[in-house]
Structure formats: C-alpha cells, structure tokens
Amino acid sequence: MDLQEVIKTEEKLAVSGYVIERTARCMKQALQKRLAEERAGITADQWILLDLLSAEAPLSQYEIAAKSYKDAPTITRMLELMANKGLIRRMVDKEDRRRVNIELTAKGHKKHSETLPIIRDIRATGYENLSDSDLNELKRIMDTIYRNFEHHKNGKHALL
C-alpha cells in the first residue's frame, strides 16, 4: 500500500469514528431533551439502567457497570440517585452476603413503562428514511466493530 492509500485509509477510519461518536451524542442529546420536555424525572443514562434492570434484574453493581459500559463510580452515583427517587432497591444476595443485588421497584417498573414510548419515538425519529435492510446492515456493521474491539481488548494489540 502506497502512502496515498495509507492516508486515505486513515482518513476513512477517522471519519468513521467521528460519525459514530457524533451520532451517539446526537441521539443521547435528543433523548435527554425529550425526557426533560416530558418531565420524565430521569436522565438518558438513568433510562439505560432502567431498561437493563427491567430486562435482567436482579444484577449486582458490577454487572450493571459491565453491561452498561460505565465505570463503577458513575454507576454508584446513578444508582444512589435512582434509589433516592424510589426506582430501585438493593438487596443482599442470599447466597453471597458480600454481594448486593439491585432490582427495580414497582415505581421503577412504572417509570420504565411510562418512558418506553418516548424512547421508541426518539429512535423512530433517528431511523426515519432507513429501510429494514439499512437497519439490519447498520446493526451488522456496528456488531462487527464491537466484536473487533472485544477481540483485541485483552490481546497484545489492545485497542481499549
């Protein structure tokens, strides 16, 4: 590969990373704005945890951090705020008393149900003018990029 091809490849990779980051931020900002307009009482990041706990609870704080790709201190603060709002409860694990499991309260489940239509609407706005085939291709590409990073995460070519 000559120098011009290398430069073009690097430019494509830089643009791709930028486009992914820009799109993710735009989606999150749109969601945050809409949640505020609807007076939902939660943030976009709290929605992620609500949705995760709605699908997979109970989970430990470590599992929540791993599944949401957020660091432990951030998860600690978010869970504290959610507990203060009565959306989650912490329970000592019956089999391992050192472990604390987290699950949604009835209020948390209600909040999830109330905000799910908002989330779906925001996603529909973002996916306007995309066919099912486009969305499937997007998912395939994003999954491939994700797997590439996961594959290299702990290897000698660690990228993260």
Report whether pLDDT(16) > 90: no
Domain positions in the chain: 3-129
Q: How far apart are CA 128 and CA 122, in angstroms?
A: 10
Cα-based torsion angle of the residue sequence 110, 114, 119, 125 in order, rounded to the nearest 10 degrees? 170
pLDDT score recorded for residue 154:
65
pLDDT score recorded for residue 160:
45
Q: Which residue is listed with tokens 């990041």?
A: 45
pLDDT score recorded for residue 93:
85
Task: For 43-72, write each residue's pLDDT tens digit.
Answer: 999 999 999 999 998 999 999 999 999 999
Task: For 23-43, write each residue's pLDDT tens digit.
Answer: 999 999 999 999 999 999 999
Q: How many whole angstroms from its chain centre is CA 144? A: 17
Report whether pLDDT(159) > 50: no
Would you identify the CATH topology of the domain 3-129? Arc Repressor Mutant, subunit A (1.10.10)
- Which residue, 60, 63, 59, 34, is CA-closest to 47? 34
Report whether pLDDT(156) > 80: no
